[in-house]
Amino acid sequence: MQNIATQRLQNQQIEYPRLKNPAEILSWMGAIQGQDYPGAKWSIGLRLPGSTDAQIEQAVADKQIARTWLMRGTLHLVASADISWMVELLAPRIIAISQPRYRELELDEQTFLQSNDVLVKALEGGQQRSRKDLFVVLEQHGISTKGQRGVHILHRASLDGLIFQGGMQSNNNPYFMRFDEALPDVKSMPRDAALAELARRYFTSRGPATLQDFLWWSGLLVGDARAGLEAVKSDLLEETIAGISYWRSANAMVAQSPGSPCVYIPPGFDEYLLGYKDRDAVLGPQHALKVCPGKNGIFFPTIVIDGRVVGVWKRTIKKDKVVIDPQPFTSLTEVEETAFIAAAQRFGEYLELPVAF
């Protein structure tokens, strides 16, 4: 299983990264999970040596990358050039499985038609308005945003390809923009081609991976996931490990891994762990609850040494420094501690803050 971990580190651009900007990273990855906005930006920074949070934030401001609901109905960061075909491919499935929740919130298609119209008009002329601001506008037009209605109204308008998110006004209060005005030149794609492209991006960037991994990550129906894989099999290599078929790009670079210990500190929802249904290749099952306590869907940032998750870490950002608190599952060796400190210093450089422990 160590070979799987090594290949994933390299294919995910964590080890031997070779891309040049945030949009290239996201295009390669297809998309990265983005409900934790600061963490999602660090997922890019981890794969882009020498980058800073400010540079990635600028890519958002320049509309080179965007944030919207994609795989499994979860927020993701995506290259703006890819957002249209991905939304068109994935949104119908998300809308279908959201119907029971819509009924609970008394949100019907007539309400969505009305709310979509209000949102599009509120954002015309290239305006960027925050979620809280848009909730006020909806309320002024007699559309209740109480409970989770407001979030689902914005969610639906995004799935309908009308709006998307940019940066943050403040914590958990993102800006929204009109799709047609902010990204007028993005391209659509026929559905069969989109299925194939999503499969190609997934297995190229995350291989070796299984069909079940791709099915879980994408949120597609089984038949669609199979069709996507079948369409790109000629560009992939199949490996059978412990009786299970894994797929990876036939052109993947498989370089000798750097000398041990090689340490990385991905954020909590990074694709290195969450991009797969089966995570045993990188995380021992006995440690799973330490990464996601109570299986509550909240994943802690991880310490990865030689491809294996060996602990978690926390960070506290202060005015003049970032404090890093490592919590390894077992004691690190002196050499591993030194390598961890170097990885933490890289995170400090990314934030442009000194690191304290």
Find the domain containing 35 and state its range: 19-182
3-state secondary structure at position 186: coil
What are 28's two structure tokens? 């390669």
Asked if residue 170 and residue 46 are part of one domain, the reply reads yes
Write down the pLDDT at residue 43. 98
End-to-end, the C-alpha distance of the chain in Å comes to: 32
Asked if residue 195 and residue 164 are part of one domain, the reply reads no
Q: Give the CATH number, domain containing residue 241.
A: 1.10.10.10
For the stretch 29-50, pLDDT in tens is: 999 999 999 999 999 999 999 9
Asked if residue 284 and residue 243 are part of one domain, the reply reads no
Mean pLDDT over the full length of the chain: 96
347 lies in some domain: yes
Whether the per-residue pLDDT at 63 is higher than 80: the answer is yes
From the list 91, 93, 85, 97, the residue with the least C-alpha distance to 30 is 85
Whether the per-residue pLDDT at 2 is higher than 70: the answer is no
For 75-88, what is the mean pLDDT? Answer: 98
Asked if residue 284 and residue 204 are part of one domain, the reply reads no
Write down the pLDDT at residue 110. 98
Q: What is the value of pTM for the model shown?
A: 0.95
In DSSP notation, 114-171 reads HHHHHHHHHTTTT--EEHHHHHHHHHHTT---TTTHHHHHHHHHHHTTSEEEEEEEET
Residue 130 main-chain phi, psi, to 5 deg: -75, 165
For the stretch 272-321, pLDDT in tens is: 999 999 999 999 999 999 999 988 889 999 999 999 999 999 999 999 99
Query: Cβ neighbours of residue 350 under 8 Å, at least 6 residues apart?
Result: 42, 45, 51, 52, 53
**Distance (Å, rounded) from C-alpha 102 to C-alpha 344?**
43
Q: With bands split at pLDDT 50, 70 and 90, how would you rate the model's confidence at 254?
A: confident
Write down the pLDDT at residue 1. 56
Whether the per-residue pLDDT at 131 is higher than 90: the answer is yes
Please state, as a whole number, how many other Cβ atoms lie within 10 Å of the Cβ of residue 128: 17
Asked if residue 136 and residue 236 are part of one domain, the reply reads no
- With contact defined as beta carbons under 8 Å apart, do 22 and 48 qualify? yes
Please give the radius of gyration of the chain, using alpha carbons only, rounded to the nearest integer.
21
Whether the per-residue pLDDT at 220 is higher than 90: the answer is yes
Asked if residue 149 and residue 32 are part of one domain, the reply reads yes
Write down the pLDDT at residue 132. 97
Q: What is the domain count for the chain? A: 3
352 lies in some domain: yes
288 lies in some domain: yes
DSSP 208: S
Percent of the chain at pLDDT > 70 equals 99
Asked if residue 268 and residue 238 are part of one domain, the reply reads no
Asked if residue 232 and residue 346 are part of one domain, the reply reads no
Write down the pLDDT at residue 334. 97
Asked if residue 273 and residue 235 are part of one domain, the reply reads no
Whether the per-residue pLDDT at 257 is higher than 90: the answer is no
Asked if residue 86 and residue 137 are part of one domain, the reply reads yes
Please state, as a whole number, how many other Cβ atoms lie within 10 Å of the Cβ of residue 134: 23
211 lies in some domain: yes
Asked if residue 321 and residue 177 are part of one domain, the reply reads no
3-state secondary structure at position 107: coil
350 lies in some domain: yes
For the stretch 304-318, pLDDT in tens is: 999 999 999 999 999
For 141-161, what is the mean pLDDT? Answer: 97
**Distance (Å, rounded) from C-alpha 206 to C-alpha 135?**
38
DSSP 262: -
Domain boundary among 249, 282, 297: 249
Domain boundary among 138, 156, 182: 182
4 lies in some domain: no
14 lies in some domain: no
Domain boundary among 149, 182, 215: 182
Asked if residue 134 and residue 45 are part of one domain, the reply reads yes
**Distance (Å, rounded) from C-alpha 58 to C-alpha 173?**
18
What are 94's two structure tokens? 């998300």
